[in-house]
Amino acid sequence: MEVMISIALRTLRHRRAGFAGAFVALLFAAALVTACGMLLETGLRGSVAPERYAGTPVIVAGDQFVRQTKAGGKSKAKPVSERRWIPASIAEEVSRIPGVTKVVTEVTFPFAGFTAHGWESAQLTPFTLAGGRAPNAAGEVVVDARNATAKIPGYRVVGVTAQALPSQDTIFFTTREARRLAGHAGLVTAIGVFPQVDVTVKGALAYTGDERGALEFLDAESARVKLISLGGALGGTSLLVAILVVVGTFALSLQQRQRELAMLRAVAATPRQVRKLIGGEALLVSVAAGLLGSVAGMLVGFWLQARFVALGAMPANLPLVVSPFPALASVAVTLVAAWTAARVSARRITRIRPVEALGEAALPGSRLPWARTVAGVVVLAGGVVLTIVLSSLSTEAAASPVTMLTALVWTIAVALLGPAIARVAAAVPPRAAGAGGYLALKNLRAGTRRLASVITPLALMTAMTCTILFVQTTMGHAGQNEVNAGLKADYVLGPGASAAGVREVPGVRAATEVLRTTARIGLEKFSVQAVTPDGLDRTMDLDVTAGSLAGFGTTSAALSRTAAERLDAGVGDQIELALGDGTPAVVKVAAIYTRGLGFGDLTLSHQLVAAHVDDPRGTVLVSGGDRAALERALPGVTVRAQAEAGEIGTSNAAVNYVAMGLIIAFCAIAVVNTLAMSTSARSRELALLRLVGATRRQILRMLRTETLVATVVAVVIGTGISLVTVTAFSVGMTGSAAPYLPPLTYLAVIAAPAALALIATVIPARFALRVHPTEALGARE
């Protein structure tokens, strides 16, 4: 083994260019796996330090989870989307606990971009005044030090605190005004307890340590759950892509060294020795690439965190967990992937007789090994099965990972059956003009293995890019179409308007208040719109297919067709659900409608939901009336025409673009890497062509023609894979077999791999053509 490692080291020293492609592929694979591992670990182990509650030893508040006990007594919990409030009377009970010296109640709610509280709770942090005084009247406020010059519409700033919290802008009202604005009579968000004592009360929980941070920043818990899902899905997809790219790169590298390996067999090297040599080379390259890639992956992880914070997908005060585990995992993964890829790629040359190896090196066979053919057919069948499964999935959480897996499985089938596809593709192109075109077509027909190695990364890049982009456009387009078809209102009013006040404006025929939130049925999350039923038929059309919205009341619910299928519920059925803050409710299904993408999975009563959301100020849909009259009657309220309401988007589109963009970038690197390796390895061939009279222009035209053919074939295959995948996704999610593919976006998508392919071909070719033909032929391979 030591002898083979020594030979492997010498081989690496003298064939650095030959192993550069494998090193690059492994390095970026390690970086991707490390970055995804950091996201996953942050989701599993990350925590948020308290800011506002940092000075309070114990916080008493509601349970911010919906819990369910499964069969066998196992309990599962999911975070609520709105803050759960508790009765203010609990403060008296807490104050009687032995050892408690002070109890402070507080209300927390959003207001004009601030986190708002009553002045009584300023002592929790504590906040002290740097100037001015505390608010004494309903129209007075105190702002934090960072917003000392802020103007608050309808209120007068009478004081500025000496402190400002790192990640939240704070404003204080009088205690009475804060509770009025919050709209939760008799309830508070939390109770601060001094000093730290054991607190046990009915209907609330005691939070200490980092638990206070999770209570203070509810979005941090949701972000952790999202990071677990995103890190796992992205990591799994990255791993499969990495394995596919690494296997392809090693296969191309060994294909270029086939003559050398055949010579080793001819001079009495046993198959085992050749396998050890190749495995040793793979181990050496993968260890170096894995170590460097894991360091690069940490930088990528921090970049992803910064982008997700900017997009609002995770809070800034949820720090990325940094530990050696993702780096160690990435090194192990790249090592195993490289070793397996090298051994699989060298399988044929180590199994045949030395004379056959030399003959195949001189004239590569075009026949596809039967094992590879069988594997390709099996994976192809797997792609069919996954496509069928995907077409039956109607939730984004379930469909998204299966979508990427489906596209990958189809691409793996293409990689396995690549030589057969390349033979068909090489036979199709018509006669090309000129000597360059003639040579290109002859090369394509003679070098189907090389063509197949180029087609795979190009097809992978096209398929992944199209799938990622067009899944989002399909969902957004379908939802927008439903909104456009179902929104009958003439105007959309921003927060601050009330339906009762709007109805008094001359000319207004109907006004509907709308709140957006979520609810859980069991532990499954559903999107919710809460509406006031009066005049609902004049402001929106949900396209009811069963039941009726007439007589829609506080305990009524309407379900989208998709939600009804998921719940196996129909008109007249009762449903137990947990509202946004976890409060249980029982509603009766009054109607089933089709426009769930545009208007939510569930439609509930505004009266039922308003008391269970952090901000009860939603939008108001108005039918009839005049814009100028509405603006005069509702000063400070945004009035938009229905056409100006803006387009809706899928919930995680931007986050998905950023995360999956890394995989697209990896695919792009694989394209450049493969083509550069393929072109650079042909220096002797190009030198011979020049010696027999071919000009540089003819050779470059030959290479461009070959690349163009490979790109066209790959784009067709990648587009086909994406079209099949996105169509199945569309069938399941929207009920339509017509996905939305913006033409200009598609043209940009196919232009990118074409440009990369041409650049990766022409630049190495120009360097190779600078060398004199005799020098190129005499150079060591």
pLDDT of residue 424: 77
Q: Give per-residue pLDDT as tens, 340-349.
A: 777 776 666 6
What pLDDT score was predicted for residue 346? 67
Sign (positive/negative) of CA torsion 745, 746, 751, 757? Answer: positive
In a domain, 499, yes or no: yes
Same domain, 39 and 154: no
What pLDDT, on the 0 to 100 scale, is given for residue 176?
92
* Whether 461 contacts 667, CB under 8 Å: yes
Taking only the tens place, the pLDDT of each residue in 404-434 is 889 989 988 888 887 788 777 767 655 555 6
The rounded distance, in Å, linking the Cα atoms of 220 and 214 is 6
Query: Are 55 and 126 in contact, with CB atoms under 8 Å apart?
Result: yes
Of the ranges 166-170, 356-360, 682-686, the best mean pLDDT one: 166-170
Same domain? 500 vs 632: yes
Question: Could you tell me the two tokens for 291?
Answer: 């170590």
**Domain co-membership, 29 together with 63:** no
Residue 215 in domain: no
Residue 49 falls inside a structural domain: no
Name the nearest CA neighbour of 335 among 275, 276, 285: 285
Contacts for 633-639 with beta carbons within 8 Å, 24 or more apart? 633/501, 633/502, 633/504, 633/505, 634/493, 634/496, 634/497, 634/501, 634/502, 634/505, 636/153, 636/154, 636/496, 637/493, 637/494, 637/495, 637/496, 637/497, 638/493, 638/494, 639/491, 639/492, 639/493, 639/494
- Contact at 8 Å (CB) between 227 and 655? no
User: Which ranges in 124-200 belong to alpha helices (H)?
Assistant: 175-182
pLDDT at 364: 53
- Residue 206 domain flag: yes
What gap in Å lies between CA 293 and CA 248, rounded to an integer? 19
Which tokens belong to 432? Answer: 């090309």
Helix (H, G, I), strand (E, B) or coil at 428: coil
Q: Is residue 557 domain-resident?
A: yes
Structural domain contains residue 390: yes
Strands 170-173 and 114-118: parallel
Task: Specify the range with the lowest mean pLDDT, choosing from 230-234, 289-293, 501-505.
Answer: 230-234
Q: Are residues 571 and 529 in the same domain?
A: yes
Q: What per-residue confidence (pLDDT) applies to 354?
A: 59
Q: Work out the pLDDT band at 288, boundaries 50, 70, 90.
A: confident
Of 577, 609, 644, the domain-final residue? 644
The mean per-residue pLDDT over the stretch 696-716 comes to: 85
- The 8-class DSSP code of residue 369 comes to P
Say how far apart CA 259 and CA 257 lie, in whole Å: 5
Mark whether 331 and 280 lie in a shared domain.
yes
Q: How far is CA 193 from the centre of its chain?
A: 40
- For residues 242 and 351, membership in a common domain is answered with yes
Which residue type occupies 575? I
The alpha carbon of residue 407 and the mean position of all alpha carbons in its chain are separated, in whole angstroms, by 16
| Predicted local distance difference test score (pLDDT) of residue 396 | 79
What is the average per-residue pLDDT within 195-200? 90
Q: Are residues 145 and 109 in the same domain?
A: yes
Task: Report which listed range, 302-306, 476-480, 727-731, is most confident.
Answer: 727-731
Residues 145 and 129: their CA atoms lie apart, in Å, by 9
Q: What is the DSSP string of 120-142?
A: GGGGGTT--EEEE----STTEEE
Q: Is the pLDDT of residue 359 over 80?
A: no
| Residue 347 neighbours by CB under 8 Å, 6+ apart | none
Mean pLDDT of all residues in 13-25: 65
- Identify whether 148 is part of a domain: yes
Residue-wise pLDDT for 442-484, tens only, equals 777 766 777 777 888 888 889 988 998 899 889 888 988 998 8
Decide if pLDDT at 12 tops 80: no
378 lies in the same domain as 352: no
CB 460 within 8 A of CB 753: no
Domain stops at, among 644, 675, 693? 644
Give the chain's mean pLDDT. Answer: 83
pLDDT band per the 50, 70, 90 thresholds, residue 61: very high
Among the listed ranges 225-239, 461-475, 490-504, which one has the minimum average pLDDT value?
225-239
Q: Return the pLDDT at 682.
A: 73
More confident residue, 126 or 602: 602
In this predicted model, which residue has the larger pLDDT, 617 or 739? 739
As a whole number, mean pLDDT of residues 736-749 equals 90
- Tell me the residue type at 400: S
Q: What mean pLDDT comes out for the span 581-598?
A: 93
Average pLDDT of 673-678? 76
Please report which helix (H) or strand (E) contains residue 206, including its range: strand 205-207
For 493, phi and psi rounded to 5 degrees?
Answer: -100, 140
**Which domain, by its residues, includes 202?**
58-210
What pLDDT does residue 363 have? 47
Q: Is residue 338 a contact partner of residue 283, using CB atoms and an 8 Å limit?
A: yes
**Cα–Cα–Cα angle for 339, 344, 350, rounded to 5 degrees:** 110
Q: State the Rg of the chain over Cα.
A: 32
Show the CA angle centred on residue 777, arms to residues 776 and 781, nearest 5°: 85
> Does 492 share its domain with 640?
yes
Q: What is the pLDDT of residues 509-557, one digit of tens each?
A: 999 999 999 999 988 999 999 999 988 989 999 999 999 998 898 999 9
Grade residue 593 by pLDDT with cuts at 50, 70 and 90: very high
Shared domain check, 378 and 295: no
> How far apart are alpha carbons 404 and 384 in whole angstroms?
14
Highest mean pLDDT among 102-106, 310-314, 706-710: 102-106
How many domains does one find in the chain? 4
Same domain, residue pair 360 and 410: no
Highest-confidence range of 202-216, 417-431, 635-649, by mean pLDDT?
A: 202-216
- Does the pLDDT of residue 161 top 70, yes or no? yes
| Alpha-carbon distances, residue 702 vs 684, 713, 772 (angstroms) | 15, 17, 19
Collapse the DSSP code of 762 into the 3-class scheme (helix H, G, I; strand E, B; otherwise coil) and give the result.
helix
User: Which of 265-274, 293-302, 527-536 shows the lowest mean pLDDT across its residues?
Assistant: 265-274
With respect to residue 132, please indicate whether it lies within any of the assigned structural domains: yes
The answer to whether residues 389 and 356 belong to one domain is no
How far apart CA 587 and CA 555 sit, in angstroms, is 5
Of the candidates 665, 675, 712, 706, the one whose C-alpha atom is nearest the C-alpha of residue 454 is 675
Domain stops at, among 605, 626, 644: 644
Residue 125 neighbours by CB under 8 Å, 6+ apart: 52, 53, 54, 55, 56, 163, 165
